[in-house]
Each structure stands twice: as structure tokens, then as C-alpha cells.
Amino acid sequence: MGGSLPLAVVVYRSWLDTWLPGAHAGTFRGNQMAMATGSAVMRYLQEHNICEHATAMGARLSRHLHALQRDFPQLGDIRGRGLMLGVELVDPAGTRDAQGHPPVFARLAPLVQRECL
């Protein structure tokens, strides 16, 4: 959001603002470059309806994942908002190792990482 620069916003009542103009600036607060970049990003997101598009595409992806779930019992819980979705991969037999993970994780995790990353 801030172009890889630290960006944070704090909202408070005006009577609590006792700092003089310019005193808010610093490495991790009031960074003008990050604020300008964040403002441009917010404007772009609004002008191009990115949030609405992500919501619609997330709903579509969720529907398709739930449809796949009927044929693939390895797909456990599917959850999230918009395109920030998570799919739990489970062992349909329900067996778990000492840490509570399905034994398939040891073999599956490297395969998923190699494909996706």
C-alpha cells in the first residue's frame, strides 16, 4: 500500500493533536512518500473497482473450490474473504502424526511449494 515503505494511520479527535505541524514526520510515522503512495493506491483501487472485482472473483473461486470438494475429500475447510482464501488439505482417513498433522503433509508440502513458488 505504501510502496514498500512503512505506512500506518491513526485516527483520533483533533483536540488530542498537540504536536506542531511537521512534528509527525519520522521513519515509521508521517512518512510523506508512503502517504502519497498509499493515497495513490487507494485512489487507483477505488477508480478501478478493485475491491468489488476481488469480492466477485473470490466468490467465484470459492464456489469452484467447494464444487471440487465434492470429488476430492482431501480438500477440508475452505475459508476467507475476497481472494484471500485458504484451503485446508486433510487426510480423509483422519490419521495424524505426533504434531497433529496428517502424514501426507511431509510429502505434499514440498510438492505444493515447488508448483506454487
Residue 108, domain extent: 61-116
Confidence class of residue 116 from pLDDT cuts 50, 70 and 90? confident
**Same domain assignment for residues 108 and 65:** yes
Confirm whether 32 is domain-assigned.
yes
Pairing of strands 75-81, 84-89: antiparallel
Q: What is the pLDDT of residues 10-68, one digit of tens each?
A: 788 989 888 887 777 766 677 788 888 889 999 999 999 999 999 999 999 999 999 99
For residue range 58-115, what is the model confidence (pLDDT) as tens digits? 999 999 999 999 999 888 899 999 999 999 888 777 777 666 666 666 777 788 888 8
Surface-to-core class of residue 37, CB atoms within 10 Å of its CB (0-12 exposed, 13-18 middle, 19+ buried): middle
Same domain, 74 and 40: no
